[in-house]
Structure 1
């Protein structure tokens, strides 16, 4: 009965979409016949049937990647180095990629909430040694914005100490991770509002991720970590099939048909890498899979600092492609 109700509701919805989104041709137009429409609906239902997953209690859930995790909706590649995008820019002041540390020298920075002046003014005066130090960067208006990523100098797991001048000259720096708002992609508030208004059924965070995908192309880095009861952890054992099953069959991994998972999705270019950390949940309690997004953060990593794999853990994109 539950299966019939799910399919019945979908047929009704599909019929509404076919009528509502169809081209209004008028009396003399090329009108689709009832038979053709019925055939199309039946074909769609058969596709849904073929993607059906069985729940642990014997019920059924329609597994639809277009409603699931973001990374399942988009293509990924195992190409080691991507072709660099043309004219791409990030963050409030639209810093052109690749970002050169010299372009940040005139920015004001804060350390522990205290104004330190511009980055250039502290290069020689701040000579204390450290293994890792981060500064909050203000945009050129001099205002603190959460979406202007922190400047990280050095590495926490590095036993060799450095100082600001040495870290900058060695290229031992990265930006982020920090929350990815519309400003991080160079969008104005009006542009972001218009994008949301044009896509009222889509979460704004997903729209921003789509925008980044359009800007940078197909990602070639994937990493993840999950609950303690499975082995998919950065730098350790990756089980891509289990991770994808986690997304598609949350009732088997979480409670109340809901499971949480986090994914690193990145673009590795020759001179730099960009990665987003995406926190999502999957919910199959309604009988159809639906993913919800919670947080997205973004990082910019110059090649001098390391590859994405060095910073965020083993790249499991090849295993992910094979399991998908």
Structure 2
């Protein structure tokens, strides 16, 4: 028997509550869970999925039901604990075949914040001055999309026989007990050879949560940054791997409980790098691309 959505750990962690409207903006609140952190801050992809989940509720009752694209910008470090998400229209559409765009922003207080708000009357934007994560989000209806489908030199998903079950390393160890990770270690550095900035792996939730559109931003950022796989001597000056911006393009609604991914960094210049990623579901269908 499938577990009710409310019992899956990830769904509990991205849950938001609608407080009401203020200054023409819909206001949601929630709490970033320490169970979904990277180091001592909320995981960046988890924060993006939390924002997308608020957008999901914003579009309830509207003609559009599916995320088409997320363009997220990480402005400052998020903190574990309460947050506010404001959402407002950029472009609305009354057509089920049309696309609608919204702006969403995650705001937090400076310093310790004891608990989420319970009423819109409690919300004062001045008290939440820290803009942590902003995004432009496009919604539509994937099931009604029509047009040319043409794949030019498409990538292929990782081959299962090349992957090994591993534990997530370093700052992701808090997530190790919540995710099942199979990875291709052939791109990792060894004592005799440097690695290459390519990451091929599969990801699944340890509690068997199905893969859906709402967790894809999390899975798009649930990675070891490919440049971190280079030889240690190349990183001797010390590196930090924060996500500055992330785009996720949604292609299909996933099926199954595992996603296969490939991520590649072609260019690392002056310490700044880009990542091109593709994500496939259990049936080998491309469900998202990311950059």
Q: Give the TM interval when normalised to the shorter protein.
A: under 0.3
How high is the TM-score relative to the length of structure 1? 0.24
Higher helix share: 1
Higher Cα Rg: structure 1 or 2? 1
